[in-house]
A and B are shown apart, each in its own frame.
Chain A
Amino acid sequence: GAVVSQHPSWVICKSGTSVKIECRSLDFQATTMFWYRQFPKQSLMLMATSNEGSKATYEQGVEKDKFLINHASLTLSTLTVTSAHPEDSSFYICSAGVFRGFGEKLFFGSGTQLSVL
């Protein structure tokens, strides 16, 4: 089946540095990519949606200048946490989907645990 590869799976960084997380769809071209974060013992929170051919749409309360999303191609999306702070420590998950015909394929990456010291 289709696979979404997310790297790195775990990263520790110093406060003030930037961290880039990659999300790749390995055997299909994703028309839409989603980025989520999950705080401990809480639900997934949608951060942004990136559709083919358009800029990412950020959810209310998500700082677009802090969480830079680049949907470089139909198989690659990156999330860059700029000037990371301890409160950005979280579990980030991407998902990639093909929505021609509405919701036909949607796959999740394995997530990235970010710890900011």
Chain B
Amino acid sequence: AQSVSQHNHHVILSEAASLELGCNYSYGGTVNLFWYVQYPGQHLQLLLKYFSGDPLVKGIKGFEAEFIKSKFSFNLRKPSVQWSDTAEYFCAVNARTDSSYKLIFGSGTRLLVRP
């Protein structure tokens, strides 16, 4: 069965620190990979996505992620976080099975950025 693992459940950083959130998935077929963010009191928003091509994907708000196929990983990075990045971050995998699609989420990582 497909699964997504996010290793860091809680991360606390100071402003300007660099961020890297881990994401690993298990699925042998073709996948599309996503990072979503949920700010306090808001609904999910897409940060970035990988379909094919350049494995280094740039998203909104200065975030980027690198797809490493050999490691089944899609880690999220940001060189310098801001207080406004405080949110919960979800990694997700869209695994295609036959003619249907399934979007599986990781357990999420709560990021707290201290001013």
Contact = CB atoms under 8 A, between A and B. Distances in A.
A, B from the same assembly: yes
B27 to A, nearest CB: 14
Given A108-B43, A109-B43, A110-B43, A44 B90 contact: yes
B100 A57 contact: yes
* Band of interface residues on A: 20 to 34
Given A108-B43, A110-B43, A49 B102 contact: yes
Contacts of B103: 34, 46, 49, 95, 97, 106
Interface residues of B, number: 23
The main secondary structure of chain A at its interface with chain B is strand
Given A93-B43, A103-B49, A43 B101 contact: no
Contact of B101 (A42, A99, A108, A109): A99
Interface of A: 32, 34, 36, 42-46, 49, 51, 54, 57, 93, 95, 97, 99, 102-103, 106, 108-111
Interface of B: 32, 34, 36, 42-46, 49, 51, 90, 94, 96, 99-108
